[in-house]
Amino acid sequence: MASKTPWKDRKDLLKDLSSFVHRKGAFFKQNSKRMSDLFEMTVYNDAVRYYRRKKYSITIHNLMSDGTFQYKLSTSGLSTNFSYFVAEKTFKDGEEKVEIHHNLKVQSSHDNHIYYTADVSVCRENGVSTQKQKNGRKHSFIENDNLITFFEVKNMNPFPEILFSFSGIVLEVMPDFITSKKYTIGKKYKHLTPSIVFSGTGGEHVEQVADILSLRYGYNVIRGLYLNKGKIYSMDKLNTYDA
């Protein structure tokens, strides 16, 4: 397969972002000029739509005083200063409520003092902790036991080295996907496994590497989101699991 462009018209991205937030009863103010930020926000919204497709009820939390949904466009800042979505659904065995966050630290599975900032993350209700660091400054993060899944977002075409490096991130944060098979392909389970998302696609070898790694380790390599108006929430053959 020949490489396809990873770029999309900026006006289309802004239109989609504004429309999505407005339908949820909030407002969106353009506060970024970087295409990578806009693509992150688009993937964030797609993650929310994924849970809506799973019949979860969706609510917005922590809107700003003027009704604006405040995306977290930087790795710095406390979670309480930004908006996020909550997805909730009742099952036969009880209720599940998850939070969907943007640009928040997630705790390592191996060391409580190592963190990785996920572009998009899903955690259990009240799964975010705010604590003081040794330097006296506070920081917000998702405790590892509360993490359900996360997304690394890349506004580019995929290439082998970045796919291999994502395996290392998964090994650090959610190693069970590397060391054991706890997932299935398709929509059987509730949650997407850890995923790396590309706006573009790669050549034949890159596509082969992506397919092999996602099958071997259970994470998702989602590419071509700008091709044929692809959306994460409408894709059928992604790896899913139950948290």
229 Cβ neighbours under 8 A, 6+ residues apart:
none
pLDDT band at 125 (very low <50, low <70, confident <90, very high): very high
pLDDT classification of 29: cutoffs 50, 70, 90: low
Mean pLDDT lowest among 5-14, 52-61, 115-124: 5-14
Strands 195-198 and 147-154: parallel
Would you give the distance in Å from CA 180 to the centre of its chain?
22
User: Per the domain annotation, does 89 fall within a domain?
Assistant: yes
Cα separation, 190 vs 83, in Å, equals 23
In whole angstroms, give the CA distance from residue 95 to residue 5: 42
pLDDT value at residue 3: 47
pLDDT score of 154 more than 70: yes
Of 13 and 134, the one with more pLDDT: 134
**Helix residue ranges, H only, the chain:** 10-23, 35-53, 160-173, 176-179, 204-217
Query: By residue range, what is the domain housing residue 24?
Result: 10-241
- Round to whole Å and give the CA distance between 50 and 43: 10
Task: Answer yes or no: is 2 within a domain.
Answer: no
pLDDT band at 81 (very low <50, low <70, confident <90, very high): very high
Residue 232 belongs to a domain: yes
> What is the β-pairing status of strands 147-154 and 94-107?
unpaired
- Residue 23: pLDDT over 70: no
d(CA 39, CA 121): 15
pLDDT at 103 over 90: yes
Question: Does residue 138 belong to any structural domain of this protein?
Answer: yes
Sort 135 into a burial class: Cβ within 10 Å, 0-12 / 13-18 / 19+.
exposed
Residue 32 forms part of a structural domain: yes
Task: Name the residue with tokens 């802004």.
Answer: 14
Check pLDDT > 90 for residue 192.
Answer: yes
Domain holding 78: CATH number?
Answer: 3.40.91
Q: Give the pLDDT band of residue 231 (cuts 50, 70, 90).
A: confident
Mean pLDDT of the chain: 86
What pLDDT score was predicted for residue 28?
60
- Our count of domains for the chain comes to 1
pLDDT bucket at 1, cuts 50 / 70 / 90:
very low
The position carrying tokens 């590497």 is: 209
Residue 56 lies in a domain: yes
Is 3 within a domain?
Answer: no
- DSSP β-ladder status, 94-107 and 138-142: parallel
Residue 55 lies in a domain: yes
pLDDT at position 180, please? Answer: 79
pLDDT band at 2 (very low <50, low <70, confident <90, very high): very low
Ramachandran sector of residue 128 (left: φ over 0; alpha: ψ -120 to 50; beta: rest): beta
pLDDT at 116 over 60: yes
Torsion angle of the four alpha carbons 173, 224, 39, 172, in this order, in degrees rounded to the nearest 10: 10
Length of the chain: 243
How many Å apart are CA 218 and CA 238, to the nearest integer?
A: 9
